[in-house]
A and B are shown apart, each in its own frame.
Chain A
Amino acid sequence: EVQLVQSGAEVKKPGESLKISCKGSGYSFTNYWIGWVRQMPGKGLEWMGIIYPGDSDTRYSPSFQGQVTISADKSISTAYLQWSSLKASDTAMYYCARHRFDSISYYYYYYMDVWGKGTTVTVSS
Chain B
Amino acid sequence: DIVLTQSPGTLSLSPGERATLSCRASQSVSSTSLAWYQQKPGQAPRLLIYGASTRATGIPDRFSGSGSGTDFTLTITRLEPEDFAVYYCQHYGSSLWTFGQGTKVEIK
Contact = CB atoms under 8 A, between A and B. Distances in A.
Interface of A: 35, 37, 44-47, 50, 59, 61-62, 95, 97, 99-100, 104, 107-113, 115-118
| Majority DSSP secondary structure for residues of B touching A | strand
Interface residues of B, number: 25
B35 A110 contact: yes
Given A110-B35, A111-B50, A116 B44 contact: yes
Given A35-B97, A47-B96, A111 B45 contact: no
A59 B95 contact: yes
B90 interface: yes
B45 A109 contact: no
A110 B33 CA distance: 5
Contacts of A97: 45
B47 interface: yes
A71 B95 CA distance: 18
Interface in B84-106: 88, 90, 92, 95-102
B46 A115 contact: yes
B51 interface: yes
B88 A45 contact: yes
Given A50-B97, A109-B33, A112-B45, 9 more contacts: A37-B45, A44-B88, A47-B99, A61-B97, A99-B97, A100-B50, A109-B51, A112-B35, A117-B43
A27 B39 CA distance: 24
Nearest to B57: A113
